[in-house]
Chains A and B, each alone.
Chain A
Amino acid sequence: DAGVIQSPRHEVTEMGQEVTLRCKPISGHDYLFWYRQTMMRGLELLIYFNNNVPIDDSGMPEDRFSAKMPNASFSTLKIQPSEPRDSAVYFCASSLAGHGYTFGSGTRLTVV
């Protein structure tokens, strides 16, 4: 099993540009989570899906952030337009029925 795969590993973009982060969960897992990690706020849950349906997006900072899960094997987190304060490490995780959580390697986003 390849684990949770995130791409890209690193992203540097200019303020105002659109950024798309990608995640492939572990096959068969029914939950998918997006977390953001910053020094100031730690690990924050942004949104999570169950069977491709968004369950809780209360952690999404503002309308500039959106997440989709068009099928069981793919999810995206989009920031448009990006701002310097969005700079963080974004983790995707997947889980089978909430019994354990496997995290991807993360995407380090830098907005300049």
Chain B
Amino acid sequence: AQKVTQAQTEISVVEKEDVTLDCVYETRDTTYYLFWYKQPPSGELVFLIRRNSFDEQNEISGRYSWNFRKSTSSFNFTITASQVVDSAVYFCALSGLAGGTSYGKLTFGQGTILTVHP
């Protein structure tokens, strides 16, 4: 069975602060994908990143960066110099790759509500 835990239910920061959203996962699969999605107040689910379990390199995209550590089963997300427009709910998710027991099935964490104040 797969499980994704986002321990931070809500985070509140002031604009320009850096913020890190934590994600810890459990899976019996040896190969898997990890994802982050953003859900702004408008409600849609916006894809941010997909990381293959083979690749532990950190990734940076503009103000966003992701830290994947297989040894601790964590896939944390950092926003640098946060902005009001970053206010949203952020979801971490996990799916199995071909051949695994959870192939094709995307399991979400409970989400972290991020509020960035001006």
Contacts and interface: CB of A to CB of B under 8 A. Distances in A.
Contacts of B109: 42
Contacts of A77: none
A89 B39 CA distance: 13
A92 B109 CA distance: 18
A97 B97 CA distance: 9
B44 A103 contact: yes
Given A42-B110, A48-B104, A98 B98 contact: yes
Interface string A90-111: 0101010111111101101000
A76 interface: no
Interface residues of B, number: 22
B15 to A, nearest CB: 27
A89 B104 CA distance: 22
30 contacts: A35-B108, A42-B108, A42-B110, A43-B108, A43-B111, A45-B106, A45-B107, A48-B105, A50-B104, A56-B105, A91-B45, A95-B106, A97-B98, A98-B96, A98-B97, A98-B98, A98-B103, A98-B104, A100-B47, A100-B50, A101-B35, A101-B47, A101-B95, A101-B106, A102-B47, A103-B37, A103-B45, A105-B43, A105-B44, A106-B44
